[in-house]
Amino acid sequence: MVGPRLKGRHLLSCGDLSEDEVWSLFHLAKRWKSEKGNGEQRTILSGKAIALYFEKPSLRTRVTFDLAVHQLGGHPILLSQAEVGIGERESAKDVIRNLNRWVNGLVARVRQHQTLEEMAQYSQIPIINALSDREHPCQALADLFTLWEKWDGLKGKTLAFVGDGFNVSHSLLLLCAELGVHCRVSTPKGYEPNANIVQRAKERANRHGSQVLILNDPKAVVSDADAVYTDVWVSMGQEHEAAARLEVFRPFQVNDELLKGAKSDAFVLHCLPAHRGQEITDEVLDSDRCLALDQAENRLHIQKAILAALIGGFFDGTGDRS
């Protein structure tokens, strides 16, 4: 089904999507995943060029977006900070005003979220946030899609995030709240999620019958959880804080002992790359209950749905929430 609902819009935050829009992306990703590269998807971006801009290193995001554009029939153009130099060689404003003339969309992994916001002010093409210091919406969409595959529905389930209240936790808070998933976050004191994002998530949760809880006790948030999520303690750009972070986050490691408090069939999630022996143990990361590789695989499928909807004007439109 082709429709105007998402066409031409930016995706900078999970807060940019309604519940119905998320479910439509999920159903489209599910359908195309089962087709394994065949069918209607092959020509949706035919004749369209998509710029893929990376200020930070990337494995999963770069490979999956490159593949996604190819599998939709489009042409990906890979750009690095060394080539473009936003903020050094020229401004974000000038970069996007040039890209407007050449390409049909921009996927951007940036150090500062304000770079995306500045480009969005002058953009005539959809911009997709492939990670910033504020959010990682494509990752969170792949995460909840992965859990939906494993569970019979999402509403009423509990996701516990343990670690740094940074970009991934922000996107999970907003998306879980919109989908009726209870989201609990546990961080050391001083590393809690952004207060404004927490407030937005609570407002969403109130509308959808879910709960947002921010605590400093990892055992409390993991208690009876359906899924436990962790991420690196030292993100790119925070290397100068590594020693202090490793010390303060040590009690927040996801290991077999911590998981005893979760449900016996609880899944473990990690967006990768993982620092084994820090935020997660080898035993947990390599266990059958860990969905890290499923999450990585599903980045491809959910990103194809995003590209198709925002740039190709393809919209599933089912709104089915099951």
Catalytic residues: 109, 136, 139, 231, 271, 299
Q: Using CA atoms, how far apart are residues 300 and 60, in angstroms rounded to an integer?
A: 9
Q: Is residue 135 within 8 Å of 167, Cβ to Cβ?
A: yes
What lies within 8 Å, CB to CB, of 215 at 6+ separation is 184, 185, 186, 221
Q: In sequence order, which residues have a C-beta less than 8 Å from that of residue 278 and are 6 or more positions away?
A: 232, 233, 246, 249, 253
How deeply is 119 buried, as exposed, middle or buried, from its count of CB atoms within 10 A (0-12, 13-18, 19+)? buried
Q: Are 73 and 42 in contact (CB under 8 A)?
A: yes
Beta sheet of 267-270, edge-to-edge order: 212-215, 182-186, 158-162, 227-230, 267-270
Question: Is residue 180 helix, strand or coil?
Answer: coil
DSSP H or E segment with residue 103: none
- 116, 127 Cβ separation under 8 angstroms: yes
Amino acid symbol at 16: D
| Cα–Cα separations (whole angstroms), residue 223 to 161, 184, 185, 259, 309 | 12, 10, 12, 8, 38
User: Bridge partners of 127?
Assistant: 106
Per-residue tokens: 320: 């089915």
